[in-house]
Amino acid sequence: MSTIATIPTLRLDDVTKDFATGTRALSGVSLSVSRGEFVSVVGPSGCGKSTLLRLASGLDTVSGGTLEVDAAVTSFVFQDPTLLEWRSAQKNVELVGELAGVPAAERGRRAREALSLVGLDGFEKQHPRQLSGGMRMRVSIARALVAEPQLALFDEPFGALDEITRLKMQTELQRIFQLKSFAAMFITHSISEAVYLSSRVLVMSGRPGRIVDDIELPWSYPRPPELRYEPEFGRIAGRISKALEDHS
Ligand SMILES: Nc1ncnc2c1ncn2[C@@H]1O[C@H](COP(=O)(O)OP(=O)(O)O)[C@@H](O)[C@H]1O
Ligand SMILES: [Mg+2]
């Protein structure tokens, strides 16, 4: 345990979010995510998970409480890869640099490096329609990571993938997280995905979303896929499942 106090990358203190429609989406949410931490949020549909990420990304503002971000770059990965169909994988990833005015040679190099990081060497010239669902998501992740974010936000990125691809993507994301060590906030419906990937899992209640459980995972990285069959893994998944049932 270090005695040097570190500033969290993302910190929410007693955050409430009300929409103009009168809907209260979040109530009294306090949490923090620091560099090297992978925090998952699980909760029932409509409980305010996407709202939470939108607040963290600065796309929307809190109604009450405080939210602080200590990151020069924040990235966002959505469930839909949202790639531009008329641009190659390489050009989709380069878009970020283009918008930021990075010179062509440099942004080309960075995009190739990001595509390599997600295992897409040799697929640079392919267009989205020529890629599988898993590969499109890899491009989306490369595009998010090319700007070297300190805070990476993921909104159910693997929700639309088949089970086998999903497990592969979990292994990949874990490897990338270890390598880059950003602060990660990850929304998922899958309890086992949350337990496998996270250093901490937050469980949210039904709307208005509150945090009803906060579970520190006991394993270091990298984690073998077989961890999913360990009794401790099942015990923690059961605790999350119970918390979801009790607070839906
Ligand atoms: N822009 C908005 N205006 C009004 N209500 C919204 C808006 N965005 C989300 N909501 C409502 O807030 C609640 C939480 O939504 P959301 O954060 O998308 O939930 P989740 O991602 O957990 O499924 C829902 O009831 C939703 O209808
Ligand atoms: Mg959502």
Topology of the domain covering 1-73+149-248: Rossmann fold (3.40.50)
How much distance in Å is there from the Cα of 208 to the middle of ligand 1?
10
Alpha-carbon separation of residue 238 from 99, 180, 233 (angstroms): 45, 30, 9
Q: Are 10 and 68 spatial neighbours (Cβ–Cβ below 8 Å)? A: yes
First to last CA, the chain: 36
54 lines ligand 1 (CB under 6 A): no
23 lines ligand 1 (CB under 6 A): yes
Q: Are 114 and 164 spatial neighbours (Cβ–Cβ below 8 Å)? A: no
Closest CA to 30 of 58, 64, 1: 64
Q: Are 166 and 193 spatial neighbours (Cβ–Cβ below 8 Å)? A: yes
- Model pLDDT, residue 5: 60
Domain boundaries, the chain: 1-73+149-248, 83-148
Kindly report the three-state secondary structure assignment for every residue of the chain: CCCCCCCCCEEEEEEEEECCCCCEEEEEEEEEECCCCEEEEECCCCCCHHHHHHHHHCCCCCCEEEEEECCCCEEEECCCCCCCCCCCHHHHHHHHHHHHCCCHHHHHHHHHHHHHHCCCCCCCCCCHHHCCHHHHHHHHHHHHHCCCCCEEEEECCCCCCCHHHHHHHHHHHHHHHHHHCCEEEEECCCHHHHHHHCCEEEEECCCCECEEEEEECCCCCCCCHHHHHCHHHHHHHHHHHHHHHHCC
Residue nearest to ligand 1 atom 3, measured at CA? 19
- Mean pLDDT calculated for residue range 152-181: 93
- Model pLDDT, residue 248: 84
Residue 57 pLDDT > 50: yes
Dig out the tokens for 24 from the structure: 């209260």
Residues β-bridged to residue 228: none
Task: Give 60-101 pLDDT, tens digit per residue.
Answer: 999 999 999 999 999 999 989 999 999 999 999 999 899 989
Ligand 1 site-directed mutation target among 40, 51, 80, 207, most atoms within 8 Å of CB: 51
Residue 139 pLDDT > 50: yes
Ligand 1 site-directed mutation target among 19, 26, 187, 205, most atoms within 8 Å of CB: 19
Q: What is the mean pLDDT of the chain?
A: 94
- Model pLDDT, residue 1: 46
25 lines ligand 1 (CB under 6 A): yes
